[in-house]
Structure 1
């Protein structure tokens, strides 16, 4: 007798008293169909989806390191240089700030999107992000600063950002100018129309 036949006979001998389950009672929770996820599963999926979207949105892939003594500067087309200069010199009030100093890169990556989106949702225009600056190009603070320059440009809500002046943290802080929300734009149009009379 071959080994395959012997294995087949052994299997049948082990399974001879096994009976199929009754279809009506073979579920752990007969009140819910198999296709419907539980509330806990839905919550886990939503959380995982939010985490994945942040991870995909703000990549931690390779970034060109910004030299530690070079200021950060970025503005979208249509933003006047005078607005960028005023932002650089602290000409707008700090409406909110985010302190990322000495925090791990992954934590900063997780904290930045909700901060920007919440500031935008509350019609804030100028926010300050404090991140620090190292003296060496590969210091943790300078690596964060380099990633921040990459990440901020990825937000549709961000119109411009520049390194802060000495009074506001110097190269260890970044001013961010957010665009006006549709609600703020319509309120501005109404004010303009009332003035014109």
Structure 2
């Protein structure tokens, strides 16, 4: 094996810090390719922070409609953010089957409140998803202002089991009735 290993004299001549020392000890070398750079994880989608802040500010400054806010022909609309817009549009068009209804005509606010709470509790227990609440337009109310309608809407907005409500289509009661979409019973 002549020439494969350096002679002792060659070893003695090399300084310990000499890069040629490795070359003489190992022999010819070849450079291996660098490992490929692993792919980066995709960047997260940007969040519309300003839009979210504006939405929160709008919710914080909104109020429950009062009798003065609603005219007899005004449509009522309410949707929780977790309800898809498509489902809300279906509700507004009256495309959900109304599974039960309550008529609160001629009831005062106190009696109507008791009846409405009992009706919604029973609807949830029965697993109903869409109900109609007839509250009237308030055209015959004292002072010409609706009393029951804004109270019902304010009450429904505060309930966790109400996903959305909308004035019923004309053939189902128009602005004198609400179609209410309830959440799944837990």
What TM-score do you get using the length of structure 1 for normalisation? 0.57
* Structure 2 residue 133 is the aligned partner of structure 1 residue 132: no
Change in Cα spacing, 1:107 to 1:92, as seen in structure 2 (3 Å) is: same
Q: How many Å separate the matches in 1 of 2:105 and 2:66?
A: 20
* Aligned partners of 1:117 and 1:157 also within 8 Å: no
Separation in structure 2 between the aligned mates of residue 127 and residue 161 of structure 1, nearest angstrom: 10
The aligned residue for residue 86 of structure 1 is: 90
Contact map agreement 1:101 1:131 (CA 8 A) in 2: yes
Q: State the structure with more CA Rg.
A: 2
1:167 to 150, 171, 175: 171
| 1:152 counterpart = 2:156 | yes
Secondary structure at the aligned position of 1:114 is classed as helix
Distance in structure 1 (CA, Å) of the matches to 2:81 and 2:158: 14
Q: Give yes or no for contact 1:75–1:161 (8 Å, CA) kept in 2.
A: yes
Give 5+ residue unaligned stretches, structure 1: 1-61, 183-197
Checking the alignment, whether the CA contact within 8 Å between 2:138 and 2:148 is kept in structure 1 is no
- Between the aligned partners of 1:159 and 1:167, the Cα distance in structure 2 is 23
State which drifts further: 75-84 or 167-176: 75-84
Q: Which runs of 5+ in 2 are unaligned?
A: 1-63
| Other structure's SS at 2:147 match | helix
TM-score (normalised: structure 2): 0.60
Superposition RMSD in Å: 2.0
Using the TM superposition, give the Cα deviation of residue 139 of structure 1 relative to its aligned residue in structure 2, in angstroms: 3.3
Higher relative helix content: 1
Distance in 1 between residues matched to 2:122 and 2:172, nearest whole Å: 22
Counterpart in the other structure of 2:184: 180
